[in-house]
Structure 1
């Protein structure tokens, strides 16, 4: 796609804003990586013309990308140039605009921060239907408030991002730890020295299978190797326990978690060897599993079966939280004791600067802890009680929770945790007529 085609797409969107019957702006998107229950809000704004890469400048190491472009499309456009985004979230259908207005993370986040920190400038559709160019020096208040605003301050139509050079392969080491405190100490050392046991480290993530069995996957660029393939019968997360070392092509490394939606494909039988052979490869991907979850949510399939078998109702616990590194072991022990869900994903990160709506301390090491599943609702308890306890524990440990899933904060707590004052100022300036839903109303109060 060229600049002229992009300009036509932007004009089409602006025409669509003017044609919205109730004056409220919302998007019509074919896919979503949110896990929030949303009411049917009717027809949305057609953004189907904003799903591509405008241009890749290999010499400058940048790309101009439309806001609804998925990382799958973006990576396919940059890798032939030997380039990739500084951070590529794990799932193929996450969009660049979504990762910036929400939060994305991956194994390069310890050294490269979060996806919005590689944005050089962006064009934002505001609540009044205007398109503003936003950068550290132009509309700077919106630039800083945009990350973690979840479309409540506007939508990204174009983003210019920095890219990094790649090698052909990624070499992996799966290092086991029997103690969570030792694992935390290892992350601290790697964050400071960018090496482990004398070998360079470019990417870090990990998995906790049990408090006494956790792994860090330490990866680095490589010019050669014999790559494994986890898009067929082999399953990536199982290999972490089975292999000390591994090698993947860059593309397969970036999408290693997508094929089985981390480990969640097992809920659909996709890890059964017979089912896996019959399940087409093109359907072994996160967006397919997400649609299946959506069908279950819509028709309450699992709930009906559980009631027939006289099993307790279950609470969805699908969350990613950021906990300061020095409290991560404490949180993991609490989580194992109080929730008991395994495996759990770990992804260390360091924010490069302060962002008011998700105020992580710049340069401080946090660990993203990701857990996705359901737990039985105990007698006398209610749906949401476990999630509320997690929110309270994370806050007590000085952490934060991503807002792509269920949230239960009261308004005052939410404003205190997510930059309420800075948000209110940006909202008043860039959406004075309230044509976009408020952030709290969108992520919490829509119940």
Structure 2
């Protein structure tokens, strides 16, 4: 029998207090969407059963109270029954709400709704000091509510959250606009972000795909009560390919929100799942992002692909990154990236803070629109190039354009450079207040891992 949320919290606190003061801490989560594949984790995880429940949904007030370990797949299923959804729904079903708040998330509503943490009204956080504190927007422990985003579990664990919700309609109509010039593409994106309309129609969702420096698409989504048909991309159809093939399409709101999960954007191709024969044999229930991610983790752990590449005399670098640059520099980033890094497709997603108050550990400026570029693949290395050549190139390029990068994947900054980008002074104050004994790892050590340098 599953424990109640209160029982689950007490069990977690008891487990934390029973550990030696110098014991490393981690949650025993069912899945991970991080891409830092170091040594296999052997530390026993703190118990999380019961922390993934829907506690209440206030349909009239448009809020949900849930456990921090609830996945977006479970959260969305619960809220859609009330005609509501979270303001920002990250693309992958197994991302947890607490993970998206502490590690950030983004999606096609982010050009006006910001990031997932901006819709948090309050949350209970288990700190490194062993205290359970309730952080509220503009109230008690507001510094922790604003400092937890981009802390990646190094200040505390969000165990309960209350979030605002957004009303939805049953369907989403999408329009795919093609561009062959980056400047024109991002100029159109900027105009749509500012107006939230295009050709007289409202725009509720906005993202895009780059297939090459002269072939890019913006996808505009609009809520609809009725549609002539609803496409299904959980079967033989593949969503990202439809961007090239259709000018207009229609999906149920649920299928739209999870359009990227079935094929992990386009990364399922690495496992042959986009081959019609393989796809027909691959169980539909296993066409999902967490399955592919586990296969990648297994390969990274045992080095199978690396050994095969070595036998063939090839060298490849694992390049999995999401970066943001100001929209006025986006065309420059795309042009330079495409000239240097042979990874296609690339995901585009505009974002802007919904809140003008600061979020200290992630450097987004209020009133500024950014473009998120997501690229996830291996890139070949030429003779003489270091094993981290492409990742370091991306970091330098992003820095030079006034941007920054997400920390879910590899980080190659040295310590001083890292803290210059991610507000080491503010982090130090939060760490001293909420984890004075250093029970959780330092953020730089956690995200830089083997690449950490003085």
* TM-score, normalisation: structure 1: 0.98
Is 1:274–2:273 an aligned residue pair? no
State the partner residue of 1:123. Answer: 124
The answer for the alignment partner of 1:15 in structure 2 is: 14
Counterpart-to-counterpart distance in 2, 1:23 and 1:236? 45
Q: Deviations over 1:374-401 (max 9, x none)?
A: 0122211221121011001101100010
Q: Give the Cα–Cα distance (whole angstroms) in 2 for the partners of residues 150 and 107 of structure 1.
A: 23
State the secondary structure of the residue aligned to 1:207: strand
2:412 maps to which of 408, 411, 424: 408
Per-residue Cα deviation, 1:289-327 (whole angstroms, up to 9, x for no partner): 0000011001111112222223x2211000000110000
1:37-90 CA-to-partner distances (Å, cap 9, x unmatched) read 233242111112211211111111000111111000000111010010000000
Q: SS at 1:28's partner residue?
A: coil
CA contact (8 A) 1:25 1:127 kept: no
Which stretch has the larger CA shift, 153-162 or 187-196? 187-196
Q: Partner of 1:99 in structure 2?
A: 100
Corresponding position of 2:157? 155
CA displacement at 1:16 relative to structure 2: 1.0
Q: CA RMSD in A?
A: 1.3
Q: Distance in 1 between matches of 2:375 and 2:433?
A: 37
Q: Distance in 1 between matches of 2:309 and 2:450?
A: 27
Q: Structure 2: any 5+ residue segments left out of the alignment?
A: none
Corresponding position: 1:329 with 2:327: no
Deviation at 1:34, TM superposition (A): 0.2
Equivalent residue, structure 1, for 2:223: 221
Describe how 1:243-392 pairs up with structure 2 within 5 A.
Answer: 243-310=246-313, 312-352=314-354, 353=356, 354-392=358-396
Structure 1: unaligned runs, 5 residues or longer: none
Instruction: Please state if 1:241 is matched with 2:240.
Output: no
Q: Distance in 2 between matches of 1:37 and 1:273?
A: 31
Deviation at 1:446, TM superposition (A): 4.3
Q: How many residues are paired up?
A: 445
| Matched-pair contact (CA < 8 Å) for 2:309–2:316 | no
TM-score (norm 2): 0.96
Distance in 1 (CA, whole Å) between partners of 2:271 and 2:281 is 13
- Which whole-Å CA distance do the structure 2 matches of 1:42 and 1:255 have between them? 33
Tell me, yes or no, if the aligned pair for 2:121 and 2:162 is still in contact at 8 Å: yes
**What SS class does the counterpart of residue 89 from structure 1 fall into?**
coil
Structure 1, 145-154 or 192-201: larger mean CA deviation: 192-201
